[in-house]
Amino acid sequence: MGTFFSETGWLCLTVTAVLGAVILCKLKKNHRQEGRKMVCLAGLWGGACLLSLSLFWGLILFSLSCFLMYAYFSGQEFLPVDQKAVLITGGDSGIGHALSKYLDKLGFTVFAGVLDEKGSGAEELRRTCSKHLSVLQLDITNSQQIRDAHSKVMEKVQNRGLWAVVNNAGILGFPIDGELIPMTQYKRCMAVNFFGAVEVTKAFLPLLRKSKGRLVNISSMAGGVPMEKMAAYSSTKAALTMFSAVMRKELSKWGVKVSVIQPGSFQTNIAGTSDLWDKLEKNILDDLTPNLQEDYGQDYILKQRSFLKFMSNSSEPDVSPVLLDVQHAISAKSPYAFYTPGKMSFLWLCFASFSPTVLFDYFSKSSHSFTRGMPRALSKANWKNEAM
């Protein structure tokens, strides 16, 4: 029995050492934060096994964990680029613009869909990127432009097919209480952030099914974490996240892998220009009923512009975490279903999903303690007495 235990123990130890060495070699090629986290967890698990169990069973379980780690890292290896064709929407600015440049440098054939093919963003892409990048006029709320873009992509890729679609285009709207957001803004947000992405997906899915490629949808942390002032935007991103999850299950039989990116707060142009905010603000004021005008007051609405400053101060200027996650989603042998780039985005999503509602509401209110005034009715000292 002692001889058997000794021989088996040495065999397990040898297997563990070999697998560990292979994992470390793979880790050197894998610079993602998740890889380092997995190794740390495996180390803690192995230590717990060796301390709590006999040497024999500890080595058995630790060898098994090393094998699972090896299988995990094998799936994280990147496929060769080979000028794979990728369509990106919302390439005028922000993440879509940066992603178009980044994938072009990596050697992908990039189709950058833009809202204005004669705008400064489109011109910069033509000027700074390689000949493998094509700028397409693509307003994703315009069915004809989607069909035209599909024809141009088909004409260029021919038999090579389309490897990936990245639905990135999106708008924020005016951040204010959901009761005050006009229905036109709700419908506009849904048209761009959800229906546009769905229509682009439906148009290009036959090409993705043919190539057994990738569908990547850029959602938002706000699609899973309730945030004040974001009723229109968050609702549409939640819809996009669920659409992605359903499509992931349905398209798996075709060999198409679907990922959703839920970034935290990054500095982009999604909020729009000052002129756009003037227009949206005017629409809200014009849409007010007498009761809303009395209860909220115009001063309260005008103070909501401070959200622009808050967004700028709290957002991360470096969008590279998002770019790396999109690269992984379209290049890894086994991409993840969900990505959460950005500081605290993963923790906030977990907190919103699993914590008691009372606890979440308390901490979310504390962490967003910036103030943008109070509605006129709530600022009255006798309001509570009147309500009673």
Residue type, 74: S
More confident residue, 61 or 295: 295
What is the residue extent of each domain of the chain?
2-75, 85-367
The pLDDT assigned to 297 comes to 85
Q: What is the pLDDT of residues 105-146, one digit of tens each?
A: 999 999 999 999 999 999 999 999 999 999 999 999 999 999
Asked whether residue 332 carries a pLDDT value surpassing 90, the answer given is yes
Asked whether residue 1 carries a pLDDT value surpassing 50, the answer given is no
- Span 331-355, mean pLDDT? 92
Mean pLDDT across the chain: 83
Q: What is the pLDDT of residues 83-100, one digit of tens each?
A: 899 999 999 999 999 999
For the domain made up of 85-367, the CATH class stated in words is alpha beta
**What is the band of 314 on the pLDDT scale with cuts at 50, 70, 90?**
confident
In the set 70, 102, 233, 300, the catalytic residue is 233
Is 339 an active-site residue?
A: no
**What is the band of 366 on the pLDDT scale with cuts at 50, 70, 90?**
low
What token pair was written down for 260? 């959703």
Asked whether residue 35 carries a pLDDT value surpassing 60, the answer given is no
Asked whether residue 379 carries a pLDDT value surpassing 80, the answer given is no
The pLDDT assigned to 4 comes to 45
Asked whether residue 383 carries a pLDDT value surpassing 70, the answer given is no
